Amino acid sequence: MMTTTTYTVQGMTCEHCVNSVSAEVGALPGVSNVEVDLTSGAVTITSEQSLDTGAVRAAVDQAGYQLVA
């Protein structure tokens, strides 16, 4: 069963930011798709199962941005 969850990420300002977040989050186990809306900061993740928010936060941090609680 696929799960879709949307998070808000702060600090993204350009397509490079979008690509960085997409790459880091997309590398998490079970993630099949990542869509990033630069204007709103929304990051929608489709995965095989619910993701641990801590893992998503760590991936976003690794990309250099901040997951909004």
Q: Cα separations (Å) of 34 from 2, 13, 31, 38, 43?
A: 13, 17, 8, 13, 7
Where do the domains of the chain lie, and which CATH numbers do they carry? 3-67 (3.30.70.100)
pTM attached to this predicted model? 0.94
pLDDT tens-digit readout, 13-65: 999 999 999 999 999 999 999 999 999 999 999 999 999 999 999 999 999 99
pLDDT category at 1 given cuts 50, 70, 90 is confident
pLDDT at 69 over 80: no
Contact in structure between 63 and 41 (CB atoms under 8 Å): no
